[in-house]
Chains A and B, each alone.
Chain A
Amino acid sequence: MPQPILEACNLVKKYGESIAVNDISFAIEDGEIFGLLGPNGAGKSTTIAMLSGLFPPTAGTAQVIGLDIVADAAKVKQRIGVVPQDLAIYPTLNGRENVAFFGQLFGLGGKELRARTEEVLAYVGMLERAKDPVSTYSGGMKRRVNLAVGLVNNPRLLFLDEPTVGVDPQSRNHIFESVERLNRERGMSVLYTTHYMEEAERLCHRVGIIDRGKLVALDTPRALIARLGGGILQIGVHSADEALATAVAALPAVKSAGFMVPVGGGAAGQPATGPVSGASAKPILRIETVQSNDAFLQVLHYCNEQDIDILSLEVLEPNLETVFLSLTGKSLRE
């Protein structure tokens, strides 16, 4: 059985009392695009920083391309590419100068450096503007040069940390295509972090869902969505009556039902145990369905029979967003 290109075991990162990454374990196979999906502050960037040798984990171990991330940090850095979330390029240098400079840091020089620089700039579609200072680029163009810099050493494993934040649709599409081509044509493995579920669904072979430093689910996007069933219904009612939740959960097309706790009201993903407090807070009954259309009709019928006012109604189609909502009780954008 081939060795994974990346294997993380029980990684923990603490900053004082705060736990940024909490006992994460996962592996990335050679040639795989692996997504880490989670909201801002979930611990995605910290995970990448540890895996790329930027700082050691508080606990746990990891191997990247067969090298220990602590003992062999320098060798790990030589073999991987990192595209950070920030537009970490020099605005007063031009695109070519930026790429060439980082190439030199990986030991490239002379003709090899020039050839490699032109190659990666062409790869991200920035060859025509390579002479212009980065400060004159659009946000999307800067992102593409940001990506090119990460590719200059021809890494076997590429870490892409939220590469499409603040990017126009055209450049976003260009980045998607670049990642797909790198994986398809060169067999490059990618660890891709994002809080856009559409990106994870489109690009990633497997997705790990991370929340508050913990990995809460890991599977292929299809399997994760299938796990959810037929989607989610969310209905707003006057009071968080547990009897209502129990009755709805017993309907044939419903998998489970429970009241959502509003943001800041308690542990995420846990059903409310009593009436939801707060002047503007409106209890939301979240219903995971086996089949959303049937569940919708059954819930409407039940509420009608019981004379329960439905204040709002939302049908969430099954996707990674609803998977995340289902697992954490909150939206990816929160």
Chain B
Amino acid sequence: MKLFAAFRKDLKLLLRDRGQMVSLFLLPLVFIFPICLAFPADGYNRSQNFKPRLPVVTYDIANGAPAAHAQSLLDGLAETYNLEMNFGAKDLASLNLSGEAQCADRGPACDEAVARALVSQDQRTAGLVIPQGLSAAIDAGQRISLTLLYNPVSSPVDRQMVEGVIKGSALKLSIENQVFGGMNQFADMIGLAPQEIRDVIDRQTAANATTVTGATSIFTSTNPAIAVVAVRPAIFTLAKIPDTQQQTIPGYTVLFAYFLIATVASSFQLDRNSGVLRRLLFTPLPRTLILGGKTLAALLIGVLQIVTMFAVGHFAFGMGLGEAPVALAVFIVVVALSAVCIGLAAAAYRIERGISLPLIVAALLAGCAFPADWLPPFIRAASVVLPQTWAMQGFQDLLTRGQGFAQVLPEMGVLLLFSAVFFVVAIRRFEFE
């Protein structure tokens, strides 16, 4: 009853402290919104899924779609590049091509104009033009050229990389075609062989078919001879790197979640300076409940803050919330608890001013504002003493890497240790008078 009264009172006091509420709830959004809106999903260029964009124009069309070998080439390039094809009105307008003659009708000619404009304006490193008759030429064993568009003023290294990938894809396509051609010739030759030889080959083919599921013939099967099954080891930290949202939203949330330290410290300062803290000592409210009420109220504020930021991230920017909602909920509470306990210790030592700057620096070192692996190794090693580092790591395990409760236990354990140490320090050092 008394604890609840203290909790409710402190919750009201905190919620009515406009300055602190702005710091906790508005400031993170001030950073999150512009960054998430301005940067593409791979704004940090850190994701393993990141693919540079490559405008591609295909004149080799059959039945309204890229012809067979053109499609094979595109499939090969798509492993490396985010292919841009069939440009829309928005692209034309942004490049001032809407009124151009070649864009009067949409088609490869218009796409080529767009690709040339993108490259010449240095918006893309290179572009590719697949000529008409590519498939027919390959089938006929004739030579044919692809056109690589590039801007002479762009980085030669980038251009050479693009050129290398395209040459590789073209070579692969060429070899595949030659191998299949050879196989077809071999099949034709089998048809001309004596009956005894054909029987042996048929028996051998039947035996092979029992080991390749679904395959009826080694020549007609499209299944690989050796299948690769992806298996994630049980104890293994995935190295998946967060995209813009996964970096920015938890990052600034963690940065400002630890502003709760200043909130708690200044709340005690106000109570102490106004004499209210002393007055509470004249009442039957035990000292533990004075601290308990403030702790619970601040904890709730901290949890609400993190939940709010993640909700904004989820609904406004489509940030995934991972695959372990319970683990995420528990981890949010643990992060908020660690901030509150450090705040209690700050209040005990009467460190009420000048907290913001160290908190910002700590957050930067912990990888809240940008990926931690941008930092020099010695700073990354030193940042293990910061709770923000563990909070950030835990959130990225849960949100980015889709891990569960067991995988974030180390981070939880460290944060709970931080909480316990600072709580004990606060209790031992706190002076009510």
Q: Which residues of A contact B (CB under 8 A)?
A: 52-55, 74, 77-78, 80, 82, 84-93, 97, 101-102, 104-107, 109, 149
Contact = CB atoms under 8 A, between A and B. Distances in A.
Contacts of A149: 279
Contacts of A105: 2, 5-6, 280, 283-285
Contacts of B13: 90, 92-93
Contacts of A84: 275, 278-279, 282
B406 to A, nearest CB: 43
Nearest to A85: B275
Given A88-B276, A90-B9, A102 B1 contact: no
Contacts of A80: 282
- Could you tell me the dominant secondary structure of chain A's interface residues? loop
B274 interface: yes
Interface of B: 1-2, 5-6, 9, 12-13, 16-17, 274-276, 278-285, 433
Given A90-B274, A93-B16, A104-B5, 6 more contacts: A86-B275, A86-B279, A92-B16, A93-B12, A105-B280, A107-B284
Q: Which 4 A-B pairs have the closest CB atoms?
A: A86-B275, A104-B5, A88-B279, A88-B275
B278 A77 contact: no
B281 A89 contact: no
Contacts of A104: 1-2, 5
Contacts of A93: 9, 12-13, 16
Contacts of B6: 105
- Could you tell me the dominant secondary structure of chain B's interface residues? helix
Contacts of A77: 282-284
Contacts of B276: 88-90
A31 B2 CA distance: 31
Nearest to A89: B276
Contact of A78 (B274, B279, B281, B284): B284
- Among B9, B279, B283, residue most surrounded by chain A Cβ atoms (within 10 Å): B283
Contacts of A88: 274-276, 278-279
15 contacts: A52-B282, A53-B282, A54-B282, A82-B282, A86-B274, A86-B275, A86-B279, A87-B275, A88-B276, A92-B17, A93-B13, A93-B16, A97-B9, A105-B280, A105-B283
Nearest to B14: A92
Contacts of A87: 274-275
A55 B275 CA distance: 16
A91 B276 CA distance: 10
A196 B401 CA distance: 71
